[in-house]
């Protein structure tokens, strides 16, 4: 994006602000303008062929109207050339707020003291990867692994996200821009029905490493081809989780753990009485840290609050809840700079030196270990107890004490996060990586968590064991 294009966005919002100020003159009414622009590219693979190759450029404008305790919003997909259409959106939001039901608290609206712009996490080379480059990367990741029975599938998604915001409370604005890419490669056996996976997240083009994905896929394919699958007996296992499983379980704590609004509404397994108390393993250090570029960070939240590192768990001790501005208004507490579309979660590495799947396989084992790299269809069972459920999928292994490797059918875990990240944690790997948590649906919102490659947790129970894939 050129400086001219950025200026055009801000100038358009300033024109809308001026129009809104005319419309609300003499009223206790404020208008917020939230601009979201995305350039998205997606190449999807199925049955070792391209099944979809598409791109889209979308501009969304969200308009908020706040009058006392009344609040209303209106959203539209638009274009920078359609100023009259956007003005009509402002008129609609003003009309809607008159009919809104009052809240039971006074909602805040941002009042920026200075303009802020951050494009440090945008790289054109990543945002503008060509079709030829996407295809070449995917082909390199699966090179030599496909057969008549073993077919490749997955996605290569990349693009950019531009966010700008301006309010009638101030002439100042905020502007953010990110580039991102997400790659998922899957090899599936058409007859035996097993699947293995390797994934990548990138904030810069240099982050992409097709050879690394190929090594992971090749190792798993070899093991799955050489070893018949088996049903595991029910019971307790020492489990090594991979980065996908770790990140998914840790990130769900954003909703049922340390989110202050969820806690106040009874939808959290943490309470205010646990502040300053040891809740998880002393090996667990979790924070929201926007200094890590690979997490697509926001240096300020949407209310203009500067975002520094925010400690959530330090050596297992619970440090504090995160508060969005709206929840802080409702429950009369101080916001923590978390009115953002995604946090920058960082789970620090531990003391175990294991930097790859090959090194994990080579580690001496005193007991059988169940390796679960990926959890499928995770859901919440009991938020107040932190209980979640999910099944293994994509490349689970049984690492036997005698050095051999078995292939287990899918198993189901129904566990409390207090146990998964609690005193049953045996070790976390020193090596960390960014795991991409972005969703493919809705507006583009690149999100990744920095997590250890592996985490061993002892004595976790399997609640169900499949007899087939």
Q: What is the pLDDT along the chain (469 residues), one digit of tens a residue?
A: 567 899 999 999 999 999 999 999 989 999 999 999 999 999 999 999 999 999 999 999 999 999 999 999 999 999 999 999 999 999 999 999 999 999 999 999 999 999 999 999 999 999 999 999 999 999 999 999 999 999 999 999 999 999 999 999 999 999 999 999 999 999 999 999 999 999 999 999 999 999 999 999 999 999 999 999 999 999 999 999 999 999 999 999 999 999 999 999 999 999 999 999 999 999 999 999 999 999 999 999 999 999 999 999 999 999 999 999 999 999 999 999 999 999 999 999 999 999 999 999 999 999 999 999 999 999 999 999 999 999 998 999 999 999 999 999 999 999 999 999 999 999 999 999 999 999 878 899 999 999 999 999 999 999 999 998 8
pLDDT one-digit tens code per residue, 83-107:
999 999 999 999 999 999 999 999 9
pLDDT one-digit tens code per residue, 160-209:
999 999 999 999 999 999 999 999 999 999 999 999 999 999 999 999 99
pTM: 0.95
Compute the 3-state secondary structure of the chain and give helix, strand, coil in percent, each to the nearest 5. Answer: 25, 40, 40
Residue carrying structure tokens 């240099």:
206
Contact by Cβ (8 Å): 219, 231: no
Q: Where are the domains of the chain?
A: 3-226, 229-465
Give the per-residue pLDDT at 2.
67
Query: Which CATH class, in words, describes the domain spanning 3-226?
Result: alpha beta
Residue 319 CB contacts under 8 Å (≥ 6 apart), including other chains: 275, 276, 311, 312, 313
Give the C-alpha separation, 357 to 373, whole Å. Answer: 10
Contact by Cβ (8 Å): 243, 435: yes
Q: How far is CA 103 from CA 90, 261, 327, in A?
A: 21, 16, 12
Contact by Cβ (8 Å): 337, 307: yes
């Amino acid at each position: 994006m050129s400086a001219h294009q950025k200026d055009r966005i801000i100038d358009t919002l300033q024109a809308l602000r001026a129009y809104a100020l005319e419309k609300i003159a003499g009223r206790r009414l404020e208008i917020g303008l939230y601009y979201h622009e995305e350039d998205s590219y997606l190449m999807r693979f199925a049955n070792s062929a391209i099944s979809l190759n598409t791109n889209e450029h979308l501009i969304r404008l969200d308009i908020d109207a706040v009058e006392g305790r009344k609040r209303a919003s209106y959203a539209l997909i638009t274009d920078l050339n359609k100023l009259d259409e956007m003005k009509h959106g402002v008129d609609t939001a003003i009309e809607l707020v008159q009919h809104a039901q009052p809240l039971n608290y006074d909602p805040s609206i941002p009042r920026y003291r200075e303009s802020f712009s951050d494009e440090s996490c945008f790289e054109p080379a990543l945002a503008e990867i060509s079709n030829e480059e996407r295809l070449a990367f995917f082909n390199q990741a699966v090179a030599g692994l496909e057969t008549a029975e073993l077919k490749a599938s997955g996605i290569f998604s990349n693009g950019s996200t531009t966010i700008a915001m301006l309010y009638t409370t101030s002439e100042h604005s905020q502007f953010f821009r990110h580039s991102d890419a997400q790659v998922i490669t899957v090899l599936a056996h058409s007859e035996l029905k097993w699947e293995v996976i390797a994934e990548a997240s990138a904030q810069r083009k240099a982050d992409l490493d097709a050879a690394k994905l190929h090594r992971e896929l090749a190792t798993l394919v070899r093991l799955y081809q050489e070893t018949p699958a088996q049903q595991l007996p029910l019971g307790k296992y020492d489990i090594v989780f991979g980065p996908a499983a770790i990140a998914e379980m840790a990130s769900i704590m954003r909703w049922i753990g340390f989110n202050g609004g969820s806690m106040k509404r009874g939808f959290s397994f943490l309470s205010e009485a646990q502040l300053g108390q040891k809740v998880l393993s002393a090996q667990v250090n979790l924070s929201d840290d926007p200094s890590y570029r690979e997490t697509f960070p926001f240096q300020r939240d949407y209310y203009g609050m500067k975002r520094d590192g925010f400690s959530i768990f330090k050596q297992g001790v619970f440090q504090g809840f995160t508060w969005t501005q709206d929840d802080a208004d409702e429950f009369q507490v101080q916001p923590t700079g978390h009115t953002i579309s995604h946090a920058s979660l960082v789970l620090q590495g531990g003391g175990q030196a294991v930097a790859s799947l090959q090194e994990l396989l080579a580690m001496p084992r005193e007991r059988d270990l169940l390796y679960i790299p990926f959890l499928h269809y995770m859901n919440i069972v009991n938020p107040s107890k932190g209980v979640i459920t999910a099944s293994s999928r994509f490349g689970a292994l049984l690492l036997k004490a005698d050095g051999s490797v078995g292939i287990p059918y899918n198993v189901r875990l129904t566990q409390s996060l207090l146990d998964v990240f609690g005193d049953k944690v045996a070790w976390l790997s020193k090596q960390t990586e960014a795991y991409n948590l972005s969703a493919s649906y809705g507006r583009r919102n690149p999100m990744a968590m920095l997590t250890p490659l592996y985490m061993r947790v002892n004595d976790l129970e399997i609640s169900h064991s499949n007899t087939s894939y």
